[in-house]
Amino acid sequence: MTDVPRYWTPAFIEAFVDRLNEDQDFQRHAHRFSDTIVFQCLDTPDGRDVRATYEIDAGFVTAHVIDEEAPSEVVRNGRFDSHSGLARATAPYDVWRRVDDGSLSIMGAMASPDYRIEGSRMKIMLNLSVFDALGKVASRMPKRY
């Protein structure tokens, strides 16, 4: 058994938070960013939906919450309150995996009907470098799919 975590598991997310808080490139891109971002992955290989909520303050993740449950109507169809955070992005595991391994660009994912992003489009566009830096940190991490 390997100790390399599988992508989108709580172990991977915990390691991701640690890596974000150590990554100077991420901190350089997010040093003026203070908000909450929610990423949701549907249909992981375990047959679960996973929601990861990250509170970021000046380039550091100051709090995070991981919710894992069987396919959930709340995760899949729950309303996003833009007062609680900047954005929420939801996609099936395969879309997240392809973005992570570089076979699908984030712009390609965003154009897909399988990828849903909610929140103020203007604020999201103004902070694309933060989203890009998050993705780059994740893609460089050792993991199993």
Does residue 74 form part of some domain?
yes
Q: Each residue of 24-68: pLDDT tens digit?
A: 999 999 999 999 999 999 999 999 999 999 999 999 999 999 998
Torsion sign, CA atoms 66, 69, 135, 56: negative
Does residue 5 form part of some domain?
no
Does residue 143 form part of some domain?
no
Domain that holds residue 110: 10-138
* CATH number, residue 53: 3.30.1050.10
CB 97 within 8 A of CB 138: no
Beta bridge mates, 37 = 54, 87
CB 22 within 8 A of CB 140: no
Does residue 1 form part of some domain?
no
1 pLDDT tier (thresholds 50, 70, 90): low
Q: b vs e for 3-20, b when ≥16 Cβ sit within 10 Å of the residue's Cβ?
A: eebebbbeebbebbbeeb
Does residue 109 form part of some domain?
yes
Number of domains in the chain: 1
Does residue 23 form part of some domain?
yes
Does the pTM surpass 0.85? The reply is yes
Does residue 3 form part of some domain?
no
Percent of the chain scored above 70 by pLDDT?
99
Average pLDDT over residues 117-145: 94
Does residue 102 form part of some domain?
yes
